[in-house]
Chains A and B, each alone.
Chain A
Amino acid sequence: MIRNSAKRAMTTTDQKICIIIDHLVEALGNEPSSSLRRTLILADIDQYPGTTQTGIMERLGIHKSALTREIEWLFNYGCIMRQENPSDARAVKLQTCGYSKKGLDDALAYFDSSHDALKRFIEKFIRVMKMEKPTLRDAKIIAILEETKGATKQQVLDRLYEGAASTENRAFNDLLKEGLVKDVRE
């Protein structure tokens, strides 16, 4: 615990952002294609164990159909557990579990264990990315470029998540096309 605290203290803000994204990827079943929105939903469920879908909708303002899809994904990937309510089929209670809980706990350590702060961090990332459904991989590419103050494409790809090279290439190229990454070659 002390060693981790010291490590956090010696890490720059931009390095911390990279590490936090890595923890969030772990929380999402090592699936960096997960959207930041899905990550926000998972963090909300972790903050309110036993919450229902209605509660999440009220807090995050996410449309029901989109939320239902995300909850299905989180359940299928073992990120959350569902507790059926025999007296009310609509009031299924949700809670995080397993590696999701651990990944979120590791990320929360950078926010004084404040779920609100972690959710604010994710929400800010969604806002600044200015693209449709930014993923954790997209966020990591930007975070790497911020931390390194400039890098080659290969240097960025080397620090991603060992996914298919074509997927990572496409993600990088999409960010370039969207203007979120710029070519600074002289």
Chain B
Amino acid sequence: MFASNVDLTSVRNALENPHGAEIVAFPDLHGSFVASAAPSARPVHGLRLGLGL
């Protein structure tokens, strides 16, 4: 017989409390990102079908 040795409490909380506010960022790569000099790309809505609506 085998059992999990991982504490999934935080995973369960994320599922049971979907509206809890917390920033998602990659845990292993904090600080490794170097910001581009280019203007920030913002999500462009209305382009889902490539229609430019």
A128 touches B7 (CB 8 A): yes
Ordered by A's residue number, 14 sampled pairs between the chains whose C-beta atoms are within 8 Å are A16-B15, A17-B8, A37-B26, A49-B47, A50-B45, A50-B47, A52-B41, A62-B26, A95-B47, A111-B18, A117-B20, A126-B26, A180-B6, A182-B5
Cβ-defined contact, A146 with B4, below 8 A: yes
Count A-B contacts at CB 8 Å.
Answer: 149
Identity of the chain A residue whose Cβ is nearest the Cβ of B50 in the assembled complex? A83
B-side contacts of A73, CB under 8 Å: none
Which chain A residues numbered 88 to 132 have a C-beta less than 8 Å away from chain B? 90-91, 93, 95, 110-112, 114, 116-117, 119-121, 123-130
Q: Give the interface SS of chain B, mostly helix, strand, loop or mixed.
A: loop
Contacts of B45 in A (CB 8 A): 49-50
Binding site for B on A (CB under 8 A): 13-14, 16-17, 20, 37, 40, 47-52, 54-55, 57-63, 83, 90-91, 93, 95, 110-112, 114, 116-117, 119-121, 123-130, 142-143, 145-146, 149-153, 156, 176, 179-185
